[in-house]
Amino acid sequence: MTNRIETIINNFDRFDSYLSGKIARDIEENRKGQFVINFKSTDGEALSDVHVRVKQKKHAFRFGCNTFYLDQFEDEERRRLYREHFKNLFNYAVVPFYWDTLEPEQGKPRFESDSRFVSRRPPIDTIIQFCEENKIRAKGHCLVYNSFQPQWISDDNEVLKRQITKRIGEIAKKYEDRIFDFDVINEMITVYKNAYVGNGERNLQITDEPDHEKWAFDTCRRYFPNANLYWNEGMFETFGTHYKGFRSFYYLMIEKMLRDGVKIDGLGMQYHANAPKETADIKLAKVCNPLRIIDVLERYGDFKLPIHISEVSIPSYSNESHDEELQAELTERLFKLWFSSRSCEAIVWWNFCDNTAYQSENVYHSGLLRYDCSKKPVYEAIDRLINKEWNTSFEKTVTGQLRFSGFYGDYEIEVEHQGKKSVTELSLRRDNTGYDNRLCDFRAKDIVL
C-alpha cells in the first residue's frame, strides 16, 4: 500500500522557496540572542588570552513528551532505555492527572511511587522524581477534563464542584512547589451537550454550564496562584476543519475569557496528524499545509500568549524502513516551522514508543521509539535538530570579552587563563540578555578569575 505521507511532504516542499528563508530568519530572530561575557581579574581588570569553551546544556524552548510509559515495561532493559532516550531529547514532561486513574477509589489518590500499577498511568511521584533528577520541567495534564472520570463522582453539580475543588486542593498541597505548569481544561470542542455518559467518553455534566471554563480557571488559580495555567484544545479546533481564523470557536472563547478577566497563561494546540494510510494525503491536506500552520500561529499570536504544540502524533504506520523515513521527514519539516514561530514556547510529542498509545491509536505507529525502545529515524532527526543544529557550543581564545550569537538556554562556560580554570553555569534568556539602552550596548555577564 502506498504511503501517502510522501504526497504531503511533496506538497509541503512546494513552498520551499518561501519557507526556507523565512524559517532561517525567524529562528535567528526568535530563538537566539546576542550574548556578552566579560572576563575579569579579582581586581576588575580585563583578562587577555582567555581560552573559553562554551557548551549549551539545555534549551529555553521546551521540547517535551508525555511520560505515560515511564517504568511501565516489564523488563528492566526497556525501562532503562526509555529513561535514557527521554532525557537525551526532552527538557519538558507531561504528567498524567486523569482523575479516573489517579483516584479510582475515592480518597485514595495514586500519588506515591508504590501505588498499584495502572497501564499508561505511572504514579505521579515516580515521574516527578525522574524529572527533578534530570532537570526536566513538568506539566500536569489536566485538572478539569470532561473525560476520564472515576465512577464515584456525584451527578449533582454543586456536589461535583466541591469534589473537583477538593481534588485540585490536594494536588496543589502536594505539588505546588514542584509543578509550575498545568493544563486546566482539555478538548472542550464545539459540540454542545457533550458532557453526558451517553455521548462517547464525555461524562462531566458541569461542562454544559455557561461559565464552566471561567469557573475551572478561577478555581485552579486560587490553588495555583503562581503556576502557568493553560487551555489545551484538540486538533479539529486549532489546525483542523473547525479553524476559521478569528471566527474560530477556540479563538472566540479565549477572547471572551480574557475579556471577562480570566487569567490564562498559555494556549495548547494538539497536532494528532493520524489518518488512515490510504487517505492520509486527503485528510491531512489542510493541517499539514505550512501556510495554514503559519496562519494559525499568527492568528492566535494576537493574544500574546505562549503557544504549546501540545500533543504531536505523526504516523509511520509500520516499522518498515520506508514508512519510518517518511515519518522522520515530515516531522523534521514541522519541527522547524514550529520552532521558528515567535508565538511557540513548546513542542510536545505525545507517545514516546510505538504500541504504547491509547487503544486504537496504536495502529498509527506514531512513536519516536519502536516497542523494543530502539530509536526510529524520527528520533534521530529530532535529536539532530535539538542537540546539534540548534545547539551553540564552541571554543575560542579571547581578550577581555566574548560576544556571540546563541540559542537561548542554559550554558556551561569553561574558562582557562594562565593555568587557572573555572566552570560557570549561565542561564541566557531573552529577558536577561540583549540590548540595554542605558549602555547603548548589550548586557553582559561577568566571570571573575
- 52 found inside a domain: no
**CA nearest 142: which of 99, 108, 109, 180?**
99
Cis peptide bond prior to 353, omega within 30° of 0: no
pLDDT tens per residue, range 225-254: 999 999 999 998 999 999 999 999 999 999
pLDDT of the residue at 1? 61
pLDDT of the residue at 435? 92
pLDDT of the residue at 196? 67
- 199 found inside a domain: yes
pLDDT tens per residue, range 409-420: 999 999 999 999
pLDDT of the residue at 199? 63
Domain count for the chain, please give it. 1
User: Average pLDDT for residues 88-102, to the nearest whole number?
Assistant: 98
Q: What is the mean pLDDT of the chain?
A: 96
Lowest-confidence pick of 121-125, 204-208, 211-215, 390-394: 204-208
Half-sphere exposure of 151 (CA within 13 A, CB side): 2
Whether 112 shows a pLDDT value over 80: the answer reads yes
- 17 found inside a domain: no
- 40 found inside a domain: no
For the chain, give the percent of residues with pLDDT over 90: 94
Q: Determine the structural domain holding residue 207 and report its residue range.
A: 62-389
User: Average pLDDT for residues 158-175, to the nearest whole number?
Assistant: 98
DSSP states along 344-402: EEEEEES-SBTT-SSGGGGGG---SB-TT-PBPHHHHHHHHIIIIIT--EEEEEESSEE
User: Average pLDDT for residues 117-139, to the nearest whole number?
Assistant: 98
Residue tagged 482523575 (cell numbers): 99
- 446 found inside a domain: no
- 186 found inside a domain: yes
DSSP states along 250-292: HHHHHHHHHHTT----EEEEEEE----GGGHHHHTTTTT-HHH
CB-CB contact of 231 with 254 (8 Å): yes
pLDDT of the residue at 193? 77
Half-sphere exposure of 106 (CA within 13 A, CB side): 8
Give the three cell numbers for residue 222: 486560587
Give the three cell numbers for residue 405: 550569537
Whether 286 shows a pLDDT value over 70: the answer reads yes
- 424 found inside a domain: no
- 359 found inside a domain: yes
Question: How confident is residue 406, by pLDDT bands cut at 50, 70 and 90?
Answer: very high
**Cβ within 8 Å of residue 177, ≥6 positions away:** none
pLDDT of the residue at 411? 98
Whether 263 shows a pLDDT value over 90: the answer reads yes
pLDDT of the residue at 239? 96
pLDDT of the residue at 340? 98
How far apart (Å, rounded) are the C-alpha atoms in residues 339 and 84? 24
pLDDT of the residue at 101? 97
Output the domain CATH number for residue 284. Answer: 3.20.20.80
Q: How do beta strands 50-59 and 393-398 pair?
A: antiparallel
Please name the amino acid found at residue 444: A
Looking at the chain, how many residues does it have? 449
